[in-house]
Chain A
């Protein structure tokens, strides 16, 4: 008989308690916690995400799982569902798939749900969390992104579902990691800190993190902004060419933030050869960002998506580029609203972390900051997330989203998620202080 070490027993003790706690809270066995949640991610949204991660379906115990209390954006929009007689019949299979390459040349990639996982780097999150995300992406036939911290070898078994991110710090960017990927993502900017470059504070830059990033351990890493090699749209084109030369089969995604001229940025990306323009709105998640940047720089995604959609349409190129939206997409209803506003699909990150126990306490920037083992590289804490368990939680969340998206489409009389794109006429503005249905 193998005797467990104290460390193993400590991990086991806390993991068991945490898992029981997530379940019990989501089942509403305890009083609400007034310290949990905020206007965007309310306590009920957090707990309903736990519930979905547990059961693979939306809660039926009264927990709100569709909107927060931010009094704007997605939270003041609702769908104009049809009378039941006009719903799409139950026997019609609703199609949630979207293409990621609409250019008509190059590799065709279709994902069965209009969602993939956003960039979260090794260093900002643990390797266990990265593997959890990659396994869930593989199970659903979709993708997750490495973020800008390099490509851990543990992701290689899932490489067909891993997007390699090339960001301004170029941490761990190598020809072979570019060649690993079916999609390569340029991160020009991030919604939570637009115009500032990535932040990884010193005590999260462990020896393992630093090795992958080809940097010095325990030194804060502030990525420059913007790319040193891109001074113009022409340079951007050369950037895309660099990827295409290294990996001719790869699709190229361009992740940008949402400045006032985001529509022109999207058009520029199209002409530079991008397959996907990924708009990251200002209310997105982050491992660390100046508080001032989160609220005040660049516009929320709810405003950027229709602007870009409209402009691409006016340029007659809307059907040649995939628009993915991120930055504050929290629920299946947010996914559908983003698409109705003009996106093809969405990129999610925070919701995945919440499915694995994140309480949105905002301490991710610290070395040991995340006591739940998510946004940490602490050797003990990171053991709290066992990749099989994490992957199942994310997978269950996606299953719940898929159920809800199909339900939304059915009630709108649609058969295909692509039919929802840009259908603002199916939305209703409900204003502040009222509840979306």
Chain B
């Protein structure tokens, strides 16, 4: 077999998946018809028509807002990019304003800017590239108060994402002993590795009760299979929808022992809470499967659970990234990671996390503060044009409305596109750091910069700082 036949470079197959429901345009464009008519008459008198018709009809927009059959008398706001040239040229009768209906998409955490970004990413899998500089607040709480490092000169990925060396985004889930012991016959003694690899450090997590739409879930499951990752779903949903395959991760809760018989061929099973009896039953029914545990607090009990055999933990925050104690997920991950480091068993566990990670940059940041992989939830809703019904923080009570024309195939492609866009952006960030495999990002705090630290160092000694 030739190298060409065996070599496989991971690739996510994107293709355009245009919106199936019209979302409100970003801007409202209002043109005063009287003002426009007066201006037209004035210009006709000034330039004449005939061969100067082109001059009279020349419009202050290159995007087609005024290029409909009757021009500015019926503007097309969906074409507006907010350049404001029209209002600069005709300030007395043209107005461009942000569309409140667009700004209501999402909620207070998943802002409409996040929604806008995901709508670009899930459209065709491209990385949003724009001109001008950064437009937002300087820093802020949570993810916004963190920057990632870059390398000026010395870097292993010489050409970044465009070059000859690929950057691996593989994530390992499970457990590998630090070293193997062999008997005199070369047989492995003691523990053997038990892990699985996914090609990108992103899983899908639709295990929360808030996710109820069957078409959406089927689409997300299909997307998980196609990109080669995993999707966590309640066992009842899996059974109800007849979902099968190695990409499915059933979520089991206390008392679900009776449902174990129907579970075959699962590589990973998740427990919603620690239950020794259920865990023992899983070990008996699915001896080779990895078992993960959803947690939202750090306690010494975790080391005992590791000793009991659990090596995968999934930190679960609210959709706004808060745990029951009110901590933000970034801080929670750091605490969790540090806990296992200090316990001397970080290498023996895999840390996953979900909730509050809603933008491509949150993935590398979450890895830098200690996760091995991120389990995505609400971004998948937005990718398929799901709308938030009010504030959607609770994993139980949040309500989402999906497009009426939603199909599983379309939803799958949108989610595949999103995964591709986020992976490519992970490559960008990793390449900038000179990192050749994203596994190396895990807990690499030296490549993270926090606003609190930077500001303290820079503004130390300035009157009023620290008061």
A residues with CB within 8 A of B: 6, 9-10, 13-14, 17-18, 21-22, 24-25, 29-30, 33-36, 38-41, 70-73, 75-77, 80, 188-189, 192, 194-197, 199, 201, 222, 224-228, 230-233, 235-236, 256-257, 259-260, 265, 282-300, 302-303, 305-307, 327-328, 341, 350, 357-366, 368-372, 375, 381, 424-425, 427-431
Name the residue in B150, B432, B465 with the highest tally of chain A Cβ atoms < 10 Å from its Cβ: B150
Q: List 28 A-B contacts (CB under 8 A).
A: A17-B89, A21-B89, A33-B87, A38-B136, A40-B134, A40-B135, A70-B136, A73-B138, A195-B150, A196-B432, A197-B162, A231-B154, A285-B133, A286-B132, A290-B127, A290-B428, A292-B429, A293-B432, A296-B365, A297-B148, A298-B148, A298-B149, A327-B133, A359-B83, A361-B84, A362-B130, A370-B131, A430-B464
Partner of A298, one of B95, B97, B147: B147
Chain A residue nearest in CB terms to B83: A361
The reply to whether B135 and A38 form a contact with Cβ atoms under 8 Å apart is: yes
* In the complex, chain A residues whose CB is within 8 Å of the CB of B147: 282, 296-299
**Chain A proximity of B364: nearest CB distance (Å):** 8
The reply to whether B151 and A195 form a contact with Cβ atoms under 8 Å apart is: yes
* In the complex, chain A residues whose CB is within 8 Å of the CB of B90: 17, 21
Assuming the A-B contacts A195-B433, A291-B128, A362-B130, are A429 and B153 also in contact, with contact meaning beta carbons closer than 8 angstroms in the complex? no
The reply to whether B96 and A33 form a contact with Cβ atoms under 8 Å apart is: yes
Assuming the A-B contacts A306-B457, A365-B131, are A292 and B428 also in contact, with contact meaning beta carbons closer than 8 angstroms in the complex? yes
A14-B58, A194-B432 given. 13 additional CB < 8 A pairs?
A21-B88, A40-B136, A222-B162, A226-B153, A231-B154, A284-B133, A287-B131, A291-B128, A294-B133, A299-B449, A306-B457, A371-B62, A429-B464
Partner of B98, one of A34, A259, A297, A375: A34
The reply to whether B54 and A6 form a contact with Cβ atoms under 8 Å apart is: yes
Interchain CA distance A370-B130 in the complex, whole Å: 12
The reply to whether B62 and A361 form a contact with Cβ atoms under 8 Å apart is: no
Partner of A72, one of B137, B151, B431, B434: B137
The reply to whether A291 and B133 form a contact with Cβ atoms under 8 Å apart is: no
Per-position 1/0 for B414-456, Cβ under 8 A of A: 0000000000010011011110000000000011010100110
Partner of A225, one of B89, B127, B160, B449: B160
* In the complex, chain A residues whose CB is within 8 Å of the CB of B153: 188, 226-227, 230-233, 235-236, 265
Assuming the A-B contacts A39-B137, A189-B152, A292-B361, are A195 and B88 also in contact, with contact meaning beta carbons closer than 8 angstroms in the complex? no
Partner of A39, one of B136, B154, B432, B454: B136
The reply to whether A72 and B139 form a contact with Cβ atoms under 8 Å apart is: yes
**Chain B proximity of A298: nearest CB distance (Å):** 5
Interchain CA distance A14-B92 in the complex, whole Å: 15
Asked if B463 is at the interface (CB within 8 A of a chain A CB), the reply is: yes
* In the complex, chain A residues whose CB is within 8 Å of the CB of B127: 290-292
Per-position 1/0 for B143-173, Cβ under 8 A of A: 0101111111111001110110000000000
Q: What is the interface size of chain B, counting residues whose CB is below 8 A from a CB of the partner?
A: 83
**Chain B proximity of A268: nearest CB distance (Å):** 8
Partner of B152, one of A75, A226, A341, A369: A226
Partner of B134, one of A71, A189, A283: A283
Per-position 1/0 for B92-105, Cβ under 8 A of A: 10011110000000
* In the complex, chain B residues whose CB is within 8 Å of the CB of A424: 459, 461-462
**Chain A proximity of B151: nearest CB distance (Å):** 6
The reply to whether B60 and A371 form a contact with Cβ atoms under 8 Å apart is: yes
The reply to whether B83 and A9 form a contact with Cβ atoms under 8 Å apart is: no
* In the complex, chain A residues whose CB is within 8 Å of the CB of B154: 231-232
The reply to whether A290 and B128 form a contact with Cβ atoms under 8 Å apart is: yes
The reply to whether B62 and A259 form a contact with Cβ atoms under 8 Å apart is: no
Interchain CA distance A431-B466 in the complex, whole Å: 10
Name the residue in A189, A197, A226, A265 with the highest tally of chain B Cβ atoms < 10 Å from its Cβ: A226
* In the complex, chain A residues whose CB is within 8 Å of the CB of B83: 359, 361, 363, 370-372
The reply to whether A71 and B138 form a contact with Cβ atoms under 8 Å apart is: yes
The reply to whether B132 and A350 form a contact with Cβ atoms under 8 Å apart is: yes
The reply to whether A196 and B82 form a contact with Cβ atoms under 8 Å apart is: no
The reply to whether A259 and B88 form a contact with Cβ atoms under 8 Å apart is: no
Interchain CA distance A227-B151 in the complex, whole Å: 12
Chain A residue nearest in CB terms to B163: A224
**Chain B proximity of A151: nearest CB distance (Å):** 23
Interchain CA distance A141-B84 in the complex, whole Å: 34
The reply to whether B117 and A9 form a contact with Cβ atoms under 8 Å apart is: no
**Chain B proximity of A203: nearest CB distance (Å):** 12
Asked if B239 is at the interface (CB within 8 A of a chain A CB), the reply is: no
Name the residue in B47, B62, B92 with the highest tally of chain A Cβ atoms < 10 Å from its Cβ: B62
Name the residue in A17, A350, A425 with the highest tally of chain B Cβ atoms < 10 Å from its Cβ: A17
* In the complex, chain B residues whose CB is within 8 Å of the CB of A236: 153
Interchain CA distance A295-B447 in the complex, whole Å: 15
Asked if B51 is at the interface (CB within 8 A of a chain A CB), the reply is: yes
The reply to whether A197 and B136 form a contact with Cβ atoms under 8 Å apart is: no
Interchain CA distance A75-B374 in the complex, whole Å: 34
Asked if B61 is at the interface (CB within 8 A of a chain A CB), the reply is: yes
Name the residue in B85, B96, B431 with the highest tally of chain A Cβ atoms < 10 Å from its Cβ: B85
